[in-house]
Amino acid sequence: MKRVIGIPANGPELSDTISEHFGHCNYFVGVAVDEYNGYEKAFSSRNEGHSGCMEPVMAMKQKNVTDMIVGGIGGRPFIGCQQLGIKLHQGVIGSSLEDNIQYLLDGKLKPMSGSTCGGSNQHGH
């Protein structure tokens, strides 16, 4: 099975930086990874907002995302990813998507064990 990594991003290119918050990113970018850890951009979708926390999670599942590299994520989307079998990895905020992808492929990103955004006072929501 091909691995597809989804990343909430500040822009649509692999040279753009990872977003600090899953649901409030500007774009979702996906890369397809082959069995030799070669990768190419598979999609970039503008985040048009959402009415429920699970909408972006379901959108990633529909794009066959198997892993997500995130800067931060709330409780409901975190649980949703777990329920749908999407593995979450703690990204390096301030680094490019390309750097974060390479960190993941090199085994340098930690799996997330819980949400990192707690409530309406954080990240402007």
Is residue 22 domain-resident?
yes
Decide if pLDDT at 120 tops 50. no
Q: Are 25 and 105 in contact (CB under 8 A)?
A: no
Query: Could you read off the pLDDT of 45-71 as tens digits, one per residue?
Result: 999 876 777 889 999 999 999 999 999
> Per-residue pLDDT tens for 69-101?
999 999 999 999 999 999 999 999 999 999 999
Inside any domain, residue 110: no
Residue 33: CA count within 13 A, CB half-sphere: 18
Task: Answer yes or no: is 75 within a domain.
Answer: yes
In a domain, 54, yes or no: yes
pLDDT for 116 beyond 50 = yes
Domain assignment of residue 20, given as a range: 6-88
Q: Does 96 reside within a domain?
A: no
Q: Is residue 19 part of a domain?
A: yes
d(CA 23, CA 83): 17
Total structural domains in the chain?
A: 1
Q: Which of 71, 86, 59, 75 is nearest to 4 (CA)?
A: 86
pTM (two decimals) = 0.89
Helices then strands (H, E): number in the chain?
3, 5
Q: Containing H/E element for 45?
A: strand 39-46
pLDDT band for 118, please (50, 70, 90 cuts).
Answer: very low
For residue 64, the domain's CATH number is 3.30.420.130
